[in-house]
Structure 1
C-alpha cells in the first residue's frame, strides 16, 4: 500500500484535524437527540471517506512503461572558470557540458526541465518547464564566470537551492519522478573545504554526475563578459606558483564520485567521443530504465481511491435528500401539510 496525496501533507493534515474536531463537537452537542447524532455520524463517515480518497491509496502491481512526461529533470551546471579549461578534445569543457544538456533534453523529451548554475553562488536559470527550446536557449548562452570577479567557489554551492527545488517538486507532484544531472569537473577553488551537498537522496529517483576534464588538465582563457581576454592575457594566470605562468585546471573525480554517492546516482566521466545515447544508458536513472531515449519501467499502482470516492458519493446523495426534505418543510404553509390558506 502506498499513498500519493493530492495536496501537500502540511495543508491536508490541518484540514482533516479541523473537520474531525467539528464532527466530534456536533456529536457531543446532539448526544440527546439520536436522530441528529445519527445524521452527524453519517457526515463524519462521509468526510472520512473524502479525506481517505484525497490520500490516493494504491497497491503495487506489475511493472509498466513510464513516459518521460512523468519526469522532472534538474540539471546542475558548474560555470566556474575551470569549465573554460581547454582539455575537452581541444575545446573548453563547457562545450561538452552544453552538448550533454541538449542530449538530456532530447533523450527525456516531454519531461519538465530546470537549469541551475553555480560558481560563487547558485542561480536558477530556468524553473521547471516543458519548453525544451527554452532549455536549449539557456544552455546555449552558458558562459564561465567573469574572471575578474572570480574569488573561488565550492563544488557543493548549489546544494541548498537544489534541495529546495526537489522538495517543492515532490510536494506539488509526488507522483512524478525526479532526476538530477550534475555537470562539472569537481575542482574545489574555494579556500574552505567542500561542505556537504545537503540533498536527501530520497528526493532523487535517478540521474547522474557527469565529469569533464583530464588528469593532465588544461589552461583556461579569461572571460570578461561577452568577449575573450585581450592578447597577452588570454589565459588565466597562476598567482600561487613561484614563477607564475598559465594556471592549469584538473578534474577531481574523487570529489565528483562523492557527490554521486550523496545523490545516489552513478558517476560518468565524459569524453569528446561519447554519444548522447551512451550518456543516458550509463546514467541508468533510478526507477526508470532508459531505452532508446523513450522511457522505461517503473512500478505500477492500482488506485483504490475511486472506491472510497464512490462510497462518499452515495453518502453525499443521502445528504442531498435530507437537505431537500428540510427545504420543503420550511416552505410549507403555516397550517402544516395539506393545510388550507
Structure 2
C-alpha cells in the first residue's frame, strides 16, 4: 500500500492527536452519568473525523496505468521589473514588460495543471506569488505587475533573484523530491548595479528558458505607467535628451548557460511554442503510460459519510419524539 497525502504528514499527525485527545476527554467525563448518549455521539463524531484524516492520507494499491502528465512540475517565473523593462522596443513600440506578460501567461496555458511561482527583481528581489496551482492568481499578479518607479531605482543586478530562487527551489525540492522545477527567466540583461552579477545557481533546475526582451538599438522609458507621463531623462549627458535602455543579449546568454537552459530572444513575432520546444523538451512533454495506483481514499470518505448520518438522524428522531409528546399533551 502506498500513500499520497494531500497535507503534510506532521499536520495530519497533529490532527489525529488532537481528535483522539478530545474524544478521550469527552468520553471520560460523561461515562457513568446520565449523559452516556452524548459520549456515544462524541465517539461517532471522532470516528468520522478519523476516517476523513485517513482519507487525507490518500491510501492506494499499485495497479493499472496512468498518463504521466507534463504538468506535474513546479514552474518559477523570474521577472525583471527594473525601470528598463518599461522601454518601448518590444514588437514595435510596446514595453518589454508587456511582452513578458504575454509570454508568461502563454507558458502557463501550455503547462496547465503545474504549480507556478512568481519572483521579481529590481533593486531587490521578492516573491510576488508563492507556488500555487491557481493560474488565475498568476494572471492577476502579472496584470498588476509594473516596472520600478525611477525615483526608487537604485540600480539592479541581472542575477538579483539568484539567492531567493535557489532557496525557494531547494525548499520545494525537499518537500517533493521527485517533482521537477522549471525556471523561466525574463529580462533585458541590462545590469545597472555597481557590483558584478553573481552567477545563477542551476541546482535542482530541470529545465526552462531565459527569455530576452528589447533591442540593441534600445528604447525610451516612461517615468510611470500614466498615459501622459514623460520619458525618463538621461542625467549623465550634458545634452538634454531622453534616456535609452539597450538590451544586453550577451548577458542573457550567459545567464542561460549558468542555468543550463536555452536562450530565446522574444520579439513578439515568434509563437510561444517555438520557445517551449527548446525548453528541455523531455521535461515538457507527456512521458506516456506509467505505473498507476488504485485509490482507496473514497472508501474511507464513504464510511465517514455513513457514520456522520448519525447526527441528522438523531436530531430527526428527537424532533419526531418532541412532536409526538406535544400531540399527547392534554389540551387546556
Write the deviation string for residues 228-252 of structure 1: whole angstroms up to 9, x where unpaired. 564xxx1111111221311111111
Determine the structure 1 residue equivalent to 2:280: 284
Determine the structure 2 residue equivalent to 1:243: 239
Which contiguous aligned blocks of 4+ residues in structure 1 show a shift greater than 2 angstroms? 226-230, 282-285, 295-303
Does the 8 Å contact 1:210/1:270 carry over to 2? Answer: yes
TM-score by length of 2: 0.65
Supply the distance in 1 between the matched residues of 2:280 and 2:247 (Cα, whole angstroms). 23
Please give the residue correspondences for 1:162-173 in structure 2 after superposition, counting only pairs within 5 Å: 162-173=165-176
Determine the structure 1 residue equivalent to 2:191: 188
SS at match of 1:68: coil
Matched, 1:82 2:84: yes
Please give the residue correspondences for 1:1-341 in structure 2 after superposition, counting only pairs within 5 Å: 66-88=68-90, 89-197=92-200, 199=201, 201-223=202-224, 227=226, 230=229, 234-285=230-281, 287-288=282-283, 290=284, 295-297=285-287
CA 1:298–1:218 in 2, change beyond 3 Å: closer, same or farther? Answer: farther
Aligned residues: 230
Gap regions ≥5 residues in structure 2 = 11-65, 294-332
Q: CA RMSD in A?
A: 2.4
TM-score by length of 1: 0.63
SS at match of 2:102: helix
Does the 8 Å contact 1:221/1:228 carry over to 2? Answer: no
1:279 Cα offset (Å): 2.4
